[in-house]
Every structure is written in structure tokens, then in C-alpha cells.
Chains A and B, each alone.
Chain A
């Protein structure tokens, strides 16, 4: 069965610093991968997705993610974090339904 692991439960980063969130997946075929963000009390907003093609995908809010099949990873990055990026981030794999990782909470300090 498909699964997603997000090794980091909580990350604290300074405003303006770079951010990288890790995601590892387990899936038999070529995965469809997603990153969603959830701000406090809000729903899930799609940041970006990978279906096929270019392994570096660009998303909204300046985020990007790189699919690495050899490492079964789909890490999310942002070069310069803003205070509004404080949220919980979920990686997910699609197998006709989404299987989510446990999430990584990002705290941004001034």
C-alpha cells in the first residue's frame, strides 16, 4: 500500500532564511505527489503537484519541490521564508485517494 513519511514534525526557521521540508513516499508505480498547506483553522490549500515530466515543479507562494525517484523523495523548498508561511505542510500521494503524511509544522521567527 502507498504511504508517505514526513520525518520532521516541527521546523523553526528565521524569516528570510531558506526552508526545506522532507517527504518520502512508498508506492509501486510512478506516483502522483502533492504538497498541501494548512494554516491554523483553515482547510487544505494545494501548493504544487507532480504527475510526470520535469522533476522540479514550481508552485504557488514561491514554493518548489523536486521529485527524486532514486531516493523516493519529494522535498519541498522555499528560498526565503515569510512570516505568513507559518503553517502545517502535508505531503500526499494519490492512488485514487490521497494518503497523507503526518505533516510538518513550520514556525517562523522574526
Chain B
């Protein structure tokens, strides 16, 4: 069964550094998402992406964040200058349509020191 994959599984970085989290969505899906879950809190929507542009973003997704689909398979989330409060589990998800089931990857745990 096809699945969403994410790399790395765990990333440790220093405050102020740039990080790129990578995702490979399910191949025939058209909609891509990033969510995050700070330890002990609920899963929060960050951004959705369709047709090579952002469809919707939350207020969390400020100018420090960007997303890109650099080729036909990868979907990346970049944080330009990480802060301590960016420490969280980041989940990528994909879906065939905009109100179809979203399938989640295993997550990348980002730790900012």
C-alpha cells in the first residue's frame, strides 16, 4: 500500500539555523499539507499546497516558513531561522482531492537547541 514518507525522522538544530524537512507524498495525490504537533498539544494545521502554490496557511505559518515542490515527488518545508518554540513533530500529509482523506507520514521530530 502506498504511503507518505518523511526524512529525517529526527533533526536536531541550533537556534537560528535553517532546516529543511522533506516529504514524499503518495504518487497520484494532488494536495499536500504540513501539520505540527508541539509535545503534549494538539495537531495544528500549517499549510496546504496545490498546483504548485499555497492554498491556505495558518497564522503559525509566518515568513520564517516556506514550502516547495522542487520536483515531481518531493514536498519540503523550510524554516529559515529556527526558534526554540519551533521544536515539535512535523507531519506531512497528502490527499487525492481537497476534501478527500489525508494520509499522514510518520513525522519528523525537530529539536531546536
Contacts and interface: CB of A to CB of B under 8 A. Distances in A.
Interface in A75-105: 90, 92, 94, 96-103
Interface of B: 33, 35, 41-45, 48, 55-56, 91, 93, 98-99, 101-107
Chain B contact residues: helix, strand, loop or mixed:
strand
13 contacts: A32-B99, A42-B107, A44-B104, A45-B104, A46-B103, A46-B104, A49-B101, A96-B55, A96-B98, A97-B45, A100-B42, A100-B44, A101-B42
A27 interface: no
Contact of A96 (B41, B99, B107): B99
A42 B107 CA distance: 8
- Interface range for A: 20 to 34
Contacts of B91: 43-44
A98 B56 contact: no
Chain A contact residues: helix, strand, loop or mixed:
strand
A43 B106 contact: yes
